[in-house]
């Protein structure tokens, strides 16, 4: 069973309803029980959401490394590679963020 706080969107998985929301403090009556179909969406998308968050985090690390390489300015081909890689990492990050937003909009979060 998945319960959703109607105030902040926090989701709680379990048989027992919480007394209050751990995120916003709303009382138990502000939670609704998701339908079986909606609960399945949330459960089945959990891993892909985690993967998208990890891709975004890794992209930030790649961007930081590329910025360091650009700053070192060893030679023009090397700097060009870092600039291209930085832009490609930014695009990967934005794609994953957009996919997460789409999941949220479809209740798959």
CATH number at residue 19: 2.20.28.10
Q: What is the largest CA-CA distance in the chain?
A: 63
- Residue-number span of the structural domain to which 104 is assigned: 44-109
Contact of 38 with 107, CB cutoff 8 Å: yes
CA atoms of 29 and 103, how far apart (whole Å): 26
Residue 108 is predicted with a pLDDT of 81
Question: Tens digit of pLDDT for each residue in 52-85?
Answer: 999 999 999 999 999 999 999 999 999 999 999 9
Whether residues 29 and 53 share a domain: the answer is: no
Residue 98 buriedness (CB in 10 A; 0-12 / 13-18 / 19+): exposed
Whether residues 16 and 54 share a domain: the answer is: no
Whether residues 22 and 60 share a domain: the answer is: no
Indicate the number of domains in the chain. 2
């Amino acid at each position: 069973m998945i319960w959703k706080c109607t105030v902040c969107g926090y989701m709680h998985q379990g048989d027992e309803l919480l007394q209050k929301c751990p995120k916003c403090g709303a009382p138990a009556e502000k939670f609704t029980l998701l339908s079986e179909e909606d609960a399945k969406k949330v459960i089945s998308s959990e891993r892909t959401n985690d993967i998208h968050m990890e891709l975004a985090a890794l992209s930030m690390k790649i961007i930081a490394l590329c910025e360091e390489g650009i700053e070192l300015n060893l030679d023009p081909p090397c700097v060009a590679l870092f600039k291209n890689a930085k832009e490609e990492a930014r695009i990967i990050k934005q794609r994953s963020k957009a996919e997460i937003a789409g999941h949220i909009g479809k209740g798959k979060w």
